[in-house]
Structure 1
Amino acid sequence: MEESLMTQNTTVKENQTTLTNNQKAFANALSTALNNREPLTESDWSNNATNEQEAYNVQDEFTRLKPGEVGGYKVSLTSKETQDMFDSTEPLYGAEMRDRFLKAPATVNLDDLMEPLVEVEMCFRAKEDLSPNDTLEDLMNKTTVAPALEVPDSRFKDWFPSLSKYMVMSDGAVSGLVVYGEEFDTNKFQDVKALENVSATLYHNDENLKSGKSSEVLGNPLKSLQWLVNKLDEQGKQLLKDQRVSSGTFVLPPSLEKGTWRASFDNGLGNVDLKVN
């Protein structure tokens, strides 16, 4: 694991050398927006990351500027509907810092966020380092799973659903925070296919807002995890032991508002609760 961490750190440092001055300025602007909660305007920065490599390089630099260490990742655009919204043909990912993964029940202040949404997800945790050679069955045996509420947030104003794909990538896939519930060994499910048939309902102040199924997440959330492991490997990175992955939303996300939020899952996964002040 120590060697893997060194590899990831080396990759980030190498990516820094490929950044133009404008791209470094972009990463710094994202960092300032995060710290000051003053959103950016897309048109001011859209020419500074015009392809996937540039966008992920900016994200790496933005991540490097955040305090703490990477605690895992979030996967976005895991349904045809959301990919179409952002003119994409595959998912994308963002790094999440360790302190942005919160154990439920959790409380957050709306004023600490910018323009947040709320999503219903399954959150995996690696019990050992994961490899692109891992099959879906391997991933099921090497992870835990928990019910989750993800709160995507952006450093850009009026970002959903109009922000361009490369701006989303640069902005850490609009990473915000992830609230996760009780963890179970993923192989509590009978087989890989069983993970396609998880249903969950989202409540706000006990009002039933919407329900969705895990099949919305690339057909199976384990496929989202596998996609991420492979994408990280392409970039010389690895999903490490104890890192978590918020794997993709079951439903189109509403705006996060004050009050109590709960996602209730079947298949014995239980509930995850978030209070927003």
Structure 2
Amino acid sequence: MDKATDESTMRARALYEARATGVPIAPFTDTHPALAAEDGYAVQRELVALLLTDGDRIVGYKAGLTSIPMQEMFDTCTPDYGPVLASTVHASGARLPVSAFIAPKVEAEIVFRLGRPLRGPGVTVEEARAAVREVMAGLEIVDSRIQDWRIRLADTIADLASNGAVVLAEPQPAGPDPDHRLTGMVFTRNGELVATGAGAAALGDPVAVVAWLANTLGAQGVTLEAGHLIMTGALHAAVPMRSGDTFVAEFDRLGTVTLHVDDSDDAGQPPHPEGR
């Protein structure tokens, strides 16, 4: 094992332990500020291997940093990505305990399910659109195993692109020639409006996110499989999640997705079919 691989393995183990204990770790970039995106992905691969060994499985992929303001914040010109794990997927109406996370925030986004495989490079937006079978209103709980969200690009990539959990509404058929750029969304916390958004916030077109993922993963020999979930990125700034909160995102044409947050003894986590 070479030095770089050994360091990636140690960093992945640190994140794995942070996920298990709920105790965050210092940013890797504090001591190694030159760490780049490719270093983060090397750690991510090692971490995913550990989680799959535990019995989890990949049911899709998420893209992050799909808006220009977020890319500017991380001094990058491209999104990042991470796997969606079966253990993290829940159905709308789930009651999730805040204590299951470290520093959770909630984002609303458009989620697709593929009806056919996609393998880049060379996948076009139109090919990606034709591969989408269903579309869903979704909430992502983003969480950081890095202390105080003090993340740079390599840190968040290593940490599964800061993915914590996913809550999905009932799927809707993709329909003929849909323009998801125009899909509007209203986001409330405890009945109060906290954000609005539209599909175009995600890379100009959320279907373009599907094509980007297919091409980026394809260059590494990974295929987006039929049935995979594709999370296309937040349509607004993330909102902190607290015990007692109820989050509701209402999407034009896609319906409503709801998340209840508490730490009561009867807090349940209804699994989405993808998470079973």
- Normalised by the shorter chain, which TM-score bucket? 0.7 to 0.9
Amino acid of the residue matched to residue 137 of structure 2? P
Give the direction of change, closer, same or farther, for the CA distance of 1:195–1:182 in structure 2 (3 Å limit): same
Partner of 2:256: 271
Cα distance in 2 for residues equivalent to 1:79 and 1:123: 16
Cα distance in 1 for residues equivalent to 2:159 and 2:34: 11
TM-score (norm 2): 0.87
1:80 partnered with 2:68: yes
- Among 147, 163, 168, the alignment partner of 1:180 is 168
Give the direction of change, closer, same or farther, for the CA distance of 1:238–1:107 in structure 2 (3 Å limit): same
Partner of 2:18: 33
Percent of aligned pairs with the same amino acid: 29
Partner of 1:141: 130
Amino acid of the residue matched to residue 233 of structure 1? G
Cα distance in 1 for residues equivalent to 2:31 and 2:62: 22
Partner of 1:126: 114
- Among 246, 250, 266, the alignment partner of 1:260 is 246
Contact 1:79–1:216 (Cα < 8 Å) also in 2: yes
Contact 1:49–1:166 (Cα < 8 Å) also in 2: no
Cα distance in 2 for residues equivalent to 1:56 and 1:242: 24
Partner of 2:274: none
- Among 185, 189, 203, the alignment partner of 1:204 is 189
Partner of 1:116: 104
Cα distance in 1 for residues equivalent to 2:85 and 2:31: 25
Relative to structure 2, which stretch is displaced further, 108-117 or 254-263?
254-263
What whole-Å deviation, never above 9, does each CA across 1:51-75 have from its counterpart, x for those lacking one? 2222111101111111311111110
Amino acid of the residue matched to residue 59 of structure 1? Q
- Please show how residues 91-102 of structure 1 align to structure 2 within 5 Å: 91-102=79-90
Cα distance in 1 for residues equivalent to 2:22 and 2:60: 23
Shift of 1:49: 7.6
Shift of 1:191: 2.4
Cα distance in 1 for residues equivalent to 2:168 and 2:117: 20
What whole-Å deviation, never above 9, does each CA across 1:135-175 have from its counterpart, x for those lacking one? 3233223221100001111111111xx41001111111001
Amino acid of the residue matched to residue 177 of structure 2? D
Give the direction of change, closer, same or farther, for the CA distance of 1:47–1:198 in structure 2 (3 Å limit): same
Cα distance in 2 for residues equivalent to 1:173 and 1:252: 16
Give the direction of change, closer, same or farther, for the CA distance of 1:20–1:139 in structure 2 (3 Å limit): closer
Partner of 1:57: 42
Shift of 1:44: 7.2
What whole-Å deviation, never above 9, does each CA across 1:1-57 have from its counterpart, x for those lacking one? xxxxxxxxxxxxxxx878532221100000000000000011576529812222111
Amino acid of the residue matched to residue 75 of structure 1? A
Contact 2:136–2:254 (Cα < 8 Å) also in 1: yes
1:155 partnered with 2:145: yes
Structure 1 residue ranges, 4+ long, deviating more than 6 angstroms after superposition: none
Contact 1:103–1:181 (Cα < 8 Å) also in 2: yes
SS at match of 2:9: helix
Relative to structure 2, which stretch is displaced further, 96-105 or 213-222?
96-105
Cα distance in 1 for residues equivalent to 2:183 and 2:3: 42
Amino acid of the residue matched to residue 112 of structure 2? F
TM-score (norm 1): 0.87
Cα distance in 2 for residues equivalent to 1:95 and 1:225: 13
Shift of 1:134: 3.9
Contact 1:146–1:180 (Cα < 8 Å) also in 2: yes
- Among 163, 166, 171, the alignment partner of 2:154 is 166
- The root-mean-square deviation of aligned C-alpha atoms, in Å, is 1.9
What whole-Å deviation, never above 9, does each CA across 1:99-120 have from its counterpart, x for those lacking one? 2121212121000001111111
Structure 1 residue runs of 5 or longer lacking an equivalent are 1-15
